[in-house]
Amino acid sequence: MADQNAFLETISQGYSFKGPSIVLGGAMLGKECQTGHLVRIPLKTVNRHGLIAGATGSGKTKTLQIIAEQLSQAGVPSLLMDVKGDLSGIAVASKGHPKIDERHEAIGYPFEAGSSPVEFLTLSDEPGLRLRATVHEFGPVLFSKMLGLNDTQAGIIAVLFKYCDDEQLPLLDLADLKKVLQYAINEGKEEMEGRYGRISSASVGAIMRRIIELEQQGAERFFGERSFDVDDLCRVDAEGRGIVSVLRLTDIQDRPKLFSTFMLQVLAEIYANFPEEGDLDRPKLVLFIDEAHLVFEEASDALLDQIEVIVKLIRSKGVGLFFVTQNPADIPEDVLGQLGMKVQHALRAFTAKDRKAIKLAAQNYPDSAFYDVAALVTELGIGEALFTALNEKGIPTPLVHTMLRAPQSRMDVLTADELNGFVGRSRIAARYNEQVNRESAEEMLAKKIALAQEAEQQAELKAQQEKAEKVSSRRRQQAEPSTFEQILNSPTTRQIGRTVARELTRGLLGVLGITKRRR
């Protein structure tokens, strides 16, 4: 009983906040929920990021759903990356269930069914608002890190971006970038070398192969216009509820490069465009990255460094990040160390390697006088989790075994008709789904090359004509005698010449005293 009283006092003090908060569930000691002792999340520190981890089927996706819908009720919009396709139900109110009533009675918190305002997004042909970004918006540094380029190759990308800026060539999609690469080592080689130095054909070839690899994962659909404005993630509805943007990624699981590309672009765009906010009473936006291991498994070291930097800095923009994965070990240590809130669902120990992983996972949580964390984490039931967060002063709250409340929305997917209905009622989907294909670098360079080739052909044709005219002139000069020659060669001229010559001879002989002997 003494332990129970100490526990209840610890929970009461550790989870009472002055500012707004949301209810996650009820505190548990042993196997019993301590009715009326609620576990809360202070909205002030949600931008300190979080982790939701646990084995398959332990309930972590529903925890994500609970937090997102409660944030929406508090006026905080969010972006959910729905890799498995089971988060669309957040748009429809729950029909209730006796087990839900039983759970909430044990927690001591009434259950109220409700839905959240939802915007469905897509990177592919799934129904929803089409997300796109231009190559230029990535910038040379981020684009190079995304492709995992070395320093020499990254330098070439920087030169090409600079050239396109100088020449006002819009880099919109991957076709534009490939055209610029080809131009740099072919028609524009002399121009490029004169302005920026030699560009290696081998390096350009390596970059081209990386781009093709990205295209094979469907990235050509992502790069282009109309670009998505990240401010549209921060909308609220007429009732002041934050809009939940659900990005459907059910067909992206086998294309992790595209998934990580999108995530990094969104984070970079948010960081570049959102103003500094400092410490707000509640976050401006929260992003939930489900199946987060897909992001980190395919990421290069440079990309991981970029993610770590953004995770550290984006907090000041009023943005929170939640990584959802099976094991905390899926998250790089430098990123894991930035996550102030942790929700740990059950982990299963089927092998010796699993047992070691569980011991390591237990070390990520504060020490507790009431729990053997390493043992408890394997005994947690579905819908239960170990929880800790940062209080309003930035101090970790006591670790608590929590019975999670049930989602207010449907714990199932929408039908195709329901999904299409929501997409059809969207206020902004039609604008982003409009096909935009304005003139960009590919077309402009093609025109430039065509004009240069035409000018070269004209110059060559003119040179050939001038050469032909010179040859023809020489031939005419050789074939047609001049007027002087014609006069000299005429019979009259020859006769006159003979007469003059004869008379001259006679005169000369007379002068010399020589007379022709008469016969």
Give the DSSP letter string of 106-130. HHT---------EEEEESSSSSSEE
Contact 91, 118 (CB under 8 A): yes
Please tell me whether residues 215 and 178 are part of one structural domain: yes
Please tell me whether residues 275 and 296 are part of one structural domain: yes
pLDDT for position 206:
93
Please tell me whether residues 304 and 423 are part of one structural domain: yes
Domain count, the chain: 3
Please tell me whether residues 350 and 281 are part of one structural domain: yes
Give me the domain span that covers residue 22.
2-124+228-433
Per DSSP, the three-state class of 12 is helix
Please tell me whether residues 351 and 500 are part of one structural domain: no
- What residues form DSSP beta bridges with 246? 80, 120
* Dist CA 211 CA 178 (whole Å): 8
* Dist CA 234 CA 244 (whole Å): 9
- Inside any domain, residue 253: yes
Please tell me whether residues 388 and 368 are part of one structural domain: yes
* Dist CA 134 CA 265 (whole Å): 10
Please tell me whether residues 294 and 411 are part of one structural domain: yes
Phi-psi label, residue 343: left if phi above 0, alpha if psi -120 to 50, beta otherwise: beta
- Inside any domain, residue 466: no
Please tell me whether residues 304 and 395 are part of one structural domain: yes
Identity of the residue numbered 150: N
Q: What is the CATH number of the domain that holds 314?
A: 3.40.50.300
- Inside any domain, residue 473: no
Please tell me whether residues 47 and 195 are part of one structural domain: no
Spell out the per-residue pLDDT of the chain, length 519, in tens: 558 899 999 999 999 999 999 999 999 998 899 999 999 999 999 999 999 999 888 899 999 999 999 999 999 999 998 888 889 999 999 999 999 999 999 999 999 999 999 999 988 777 889 888 889 888 898 888 888 889 999 999 999 999 999 989 999 989 999 999 999 988 888 888 888 888 999 999 999 999 998 888 777 888 888 888 999 999 999 999 999 999 988 766 667 667 777 777 888 888 888 999 878 899 999 999 888 887 777 666 766 777 888 888 898 999 999 999 988 888 888 888 889 999 999 988 777 777 887 887 777 788 888 998 888 988 999 999 999 999 999 999 999 999 999 999 999 888 889 999 999 999 998 888 887 878 888 888 888 777 766 666 667 777 777 777 777 777 766 655 655 555 556 666 566 656 655 665 566 555 555 554 444
- Inside any domain, residue 429: yes
| Dihedral angle sign, alpha carbons of residues 225, 221, 325, 386 | positive
- Inside any domain, residue 460: no
- Give the single-character DSSP code of 90: G
pLDDT for position 95:
92
- Inside any domain, residue 468: no
Please tell me whether residues 326 and 384 are part of one structural domain: yes
Which has the closest alpha carbon to 87: 247, 316, 274?
Answer: 247
- Inside any domain, residue 486: yes
The pair of three-digit structure tokens given for residue 344, joined into one six-digit string? 């740990």
Please tell me whether residues 316 and 443 are part of one structural domain: no
Please tell me whether residues 446 and 498 are part of one structural domain: no
Which has the closest alpha carbon to 261: 318, 216, 200, 326?
Answer: 216
